Amino acid sequence: RDLFEKAKSKAPCIMFIDEIDAVGRQRGTGMGGGNEEREQTINQLLPEMDDFLCNLGVIVLAARPDVLDSALLRPGRFDRQVHSRGKALAKDVDFD
């Protein structure tokens, strides 16, 4: 919540969240461990995303987009996906 408040106060800005798949996995999978804390994080993230400002952008990186909770991928949230594997960014950059 604090991250989104800070971003809103600095708008226009872009917020980058690395490894969203670490906390954004499908809910209700019964993985145990820190599952409850992870689900609380998702439950907080979803309304923050619904309250986006037009001058606040959020970019996330996921190594495993296939395990993301479907609520994160709904229109208006993280509904645009850019796959970088196999695409050259520059001659000296290799994503593989």
Range of the domain at 20: 2-73
CATH number where 66 lies: 3.40.50.300
Q: Residue 17 domain-assigned? A: yes
Q: Residue 47 domain-assigned? A: yes
SS3 string of the chain? Answer: CHHHHHHHHCCCEEEEECCHHHCCECCCCCCCCCHHHHHHHHHHHHHHHHCCCCCEEEEECCCCHHHECHHHHCCCCCCCCCCCCCCCCCCCCCCC
Q: Residue 67 domain-assigned? A: yes
Q: Residue 15 domain-assigned? A: yes
Q: Residue 24 domain-assigned? A: yes
Looking at residue 30, its pLDDT comes to 60
Provide CB contacts within 8 A for 59, sequence distance 6+.
14, 15, 16, 17
pLDDT in tens, 21-54: 988 888 876 655 557 888 888 888 888 887 776 7
